[in-house]
Amino acid sequence: MAKRQVAQERPPNNEIRRIMLRYFYERNKNATSARGKKGSAVKISDVKKELKASHGLTQQEVQSNLTYLISQGWVKKDTIEKSFTAPGGTVIPSSTNYYRITAAGIDKIEGPGEFTIPKFHGIKIEATGQNIITLGDGNQINAKFDDLGAALVELRDAITRSDILEARKLELVADIDTIQSQLAKPNPNKSIIAAAWEAVKSAATIDGCIALVERVTRLIGGLVG
């Protein structure tokens, strides 16, 4: 009797997206040209080939999650238009798509920096009647949550300095950013904060983070109940 083949468990989409964004980040970081073999921008065929070799991702996993990363603004598609003349004299247009990480994608991994455009750029904050402050990591929140915001910044910094896997850092930092985005509102969405904090509080197992997680837990209590 033939042995039943066990289907291999596939990573969840969020993990695939973290892998892919890190792939584009590292490619940009080490690029020596805009496009090509050592370029920051890469063709989809190369993306699929390299991610299959490095992480075992299927073409379908890469394609579907690339669409998501593009729609969220983390990755951008550049189309290069060319043309060539056929033997009969007919000019035939041709185009090639290249994919690269955006500034937003880089900030997603590194965190906001000196050159990051403020999250609410273009919005007249004063017209909302809110007192918005900017935290040390560049996030902007309602001033009434300043203690919680400051504690989250400290936790974020401790996580990024830790020795855990980069993919894990990205996951935790992204969830912290989700919480801070809600803190810009006078009435944050408690269910969103609770879901994000449920993931972030696992950082208590990271060296140097337990006291910070306990501090945030005390401050965030009223927003996750």
Q: Is 39 exposed, middle or buried (0-12, 13-18, 19+ CB in 10 A)?
A: middle
The beta strand positions in 88-131, using DSSP E, are 91-101
Range of the domain at 20: 13-106
| Residue where a domain terminates, one of 62, 80, 106 | 106
Contact 146, 168 (CB under 8 A): no
In a domain, 2, yes or no: no
In a domain, 7, yes or no: no
CATH assignment at residue 31: 1.10.10.10
Q: How many domains, the chain?
A: 2
Prediction pTM value: 0.52
Q: Which residues pair with 42 in a beta bridge?
A: 99
The 3-class SS string of 137-157 reads CCCEEEHHHHHHHHHHHHHHH
- Distance of alpha carbon 1 from alpha carbon 217, whole angstroms: 56
Looking at residue 102, the DSSP 8-state letter turns out to be -
58 and 140 in a single domain? The answer is no
| Residue where a domain terminates, one of 48, 83, 106 | 106
User: Would you mind telling me the total number of residues written for the chain in this entry?
Assistant: 225
| pLDDT surpasses 90 at 58 | yes
Model confidence pLDDT, tens digit, residues 180-216: 888 888 888 999 999 999 999 999 999 889 999 999 9
Output the CA–CA distances (angstroms, integers) from residue 165 to 24, 85, 139, 169, 201, in the order listed: 17, 51, 24, 6, 17
Picking from 106, 129, 113, 101, the residue whose alpha carbon sits closest to that of residue 40 is 101
84 and 169 in a single domain? The answer is no
Q: CA-based angle 158:161:164, to the nearest 5?
A: 100
Q: Give the neighbor-by-neighbor strand order of the sheet with 39-43.
A: 33-35, 39-43, 91-101, 75-85
Model confidence pLDDT, tens digit, residues 80-125: 877 777 787 777 777 889 999 998 888 888 876 666 555 544 444 4
Q: Which two tokens stand for residue 138?
A: 């560049």
Q: Tokens 């879901």 identify what position? A: 195
| Residue where a domain terminates, one of 77, 106, 135 | 106
Model confidence pLDDT, tens digit, residues 137-183: 566 777 888 889 889 989 998 998 888 888 888 889 889 988 988 88
